[in-house]
């Protein structure tokens, strides 16, 4: 006859098996929903390989993963872009905002803009950002603005802090805290013709979307994951290397919390003119510091040492 302690051990062991089985069941359900939701993503060519391309970052274990996120407007032009770095432990995400009229180099090393490189194809934009920052990009994600704002409705809206009162397309956006729906987010993001204002607003909405996706029950609720997947499948294109298996691996490894998502624009020297239009010139010295911080997976520390990233830009001589 078993003693009371033996029975307690048996009950505890059975309980542990039940808990493990439940966790595995939830994980399987989550991964199945994510895989199914992302199964219809459009894919383009692999990322470009070219002479002088930055090498992969060597590490004893897992390395950080970098994505170039390209947001396009209704006319198919680049609205804004983001270099997104997911830490090697998959527990921190940092977004570097890139204005559409950022001054970059083309494949021949001549001056161009990020918007012009995007117009030549998203992989041309990937190469321009890799060359500019000296960092290798692992994946490309292109999303159109309608899809971007449609996710806002799936999440039930997002809150942003609006610095300057504005009105557009019948909408009024007072300074201070705003609660945006998909429709109002579209008006808010497209109302300004200034690339830095567009970047600031899109970045704020982007951060709120990411925090909304990883917060609450969004990613553990198969119905919500399916709804998000329906939106993404209709408006997102990724590189050929971001396979369903790679997405599944990223989903399994993900340990993000809402407060682990940070963002700041690329360090900028000021505004200039080039080719008859306005361009924004990156600050080469500060940019090197940011690139080193990303390599060391310390972007939050680097950003904390910088001045107001949205301060008015200096006027520079024509290029």
Residue 52 has pLDDT above 90, yes or no: yes
pLDDT tens column, 266-297 = 999 999 999 899 999 999 999 999 999 999 99
Q: Sign (positive/negative) of CA torsion 149, 97, 203, 32?
A: positive
Percentage of the chain lying above the pLDDT 90 cut:
66
Instruction: Return the pLDDT at 19.
Output: 31
pLDDT at residue 239 in the model: 96
Looking at domain 38-304, its CATH architecture is: 3-Layer(aba) Sandwich (3.40)
Residue among 183, 245, 234 at smallest CA distance from 41: 234
pLDDT above 70 covers a percentage of the chain that reads 86
Q: HSE, CB side, 13 Å, CA atoms: give it for residue 280.
A: 20
Q: What is the pLDDT of residue 142?
A: 95
Give me the mean pLDDT over the 165-177 stretch: 92
Specify whether the CB–CB gap between 141 and 68 falls below 8 A: yes
Instruction: Report pLDDT digits (tens) over 203-256.
Output: 999 999 999 888 766 766 777 777 888 888 889 999 999 998 888 888 788 888
Contacts of 51 (CB under 8 A, 6+ apart): none
Cα dihedral sign, 268-279-274-67: positive
pTM of the model: 0.88
Evaluated on CA atoms 295, 301, 305, 306, the torsion sign reads: positive
| More reliable by pLDDT, 7 or 21 | 7
* Three-class DSSP category at 288: helix
What is the average per-residue pLDDT within 110-139? 98
Q: Which whole-number Å values give the CA distances from 147 to 35, 71, 94, 226, in the listed order?
A: 19, 10, 22, 15
* CA angle centred on 138, ends 129 and 215, rounded to 5°: 100
- The 10s digit of each residue's pLDDT in 15-46 is 333 333 333 333 444 455 556 656 678 999 99
């Amino acid at each position: 006859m078993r003693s009371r302690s033996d029975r307690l051990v048996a009950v505890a062991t059975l309980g542990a098996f039940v808990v493990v089985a439940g966790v595995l069941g939830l994980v399987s359900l989550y991964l199945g929903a994510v895989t199914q939701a992302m199964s219809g993503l459009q894919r383009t060519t692999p990322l470009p390989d070219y002479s002088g391309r930055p090498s992969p970052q060597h590490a004893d274990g897992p390395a950080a993963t970098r994505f170039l996120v390209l947001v396009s407007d209704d006319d198919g032009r680049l609205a804004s872009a983001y270099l997104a770095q997911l830490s090697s432990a998959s527990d921190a995400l940092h977004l570097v905002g890139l204005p559409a009229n950022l001054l970059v180099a083309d494949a021949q090393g001549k001056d161009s803009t990020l918007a012009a490189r995007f117009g030549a194809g998203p992989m041309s934009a990937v190469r321009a950002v890799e060359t500019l920052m000296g960092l290798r990009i692992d994946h490309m994600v292109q999303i159109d603005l309608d899809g971007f704002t449609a996710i806002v409705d799936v999440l039930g809206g997002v809150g942003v802090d609006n610095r300057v009162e504005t009105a557009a397309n019948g909408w009024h956006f007072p300074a201070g805290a705003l609660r945006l729906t998909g429709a109002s987010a579209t008006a808010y993001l497209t109302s300004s013709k200034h690339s830095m204002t567009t970047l600031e607003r899109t970045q704020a909405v982007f951060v709120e979307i990411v925090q909304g996706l990883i917060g609450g029950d969004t990613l553990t609720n198969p119905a919500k994951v399916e709804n998000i997947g329906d939106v993404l499948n209709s408006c997102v294109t990724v590189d050929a290397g971001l396979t369903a298996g790679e997405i599944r691996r990223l989903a399994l490894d993900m340990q993000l919390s809402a407060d682990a998502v940070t963002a700041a624009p690329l360090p900028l020297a000021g505004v200039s003119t080039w080719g008859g239009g306005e361009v924004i010139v990156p600050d080469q010295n500060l940019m090197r510091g940011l690139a080193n911080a990303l390599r060391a997976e310390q972007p939050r520390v680097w950003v904390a040492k910088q001045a107001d990233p949205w301060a008015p830009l200096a006027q520079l001589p024509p290029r």
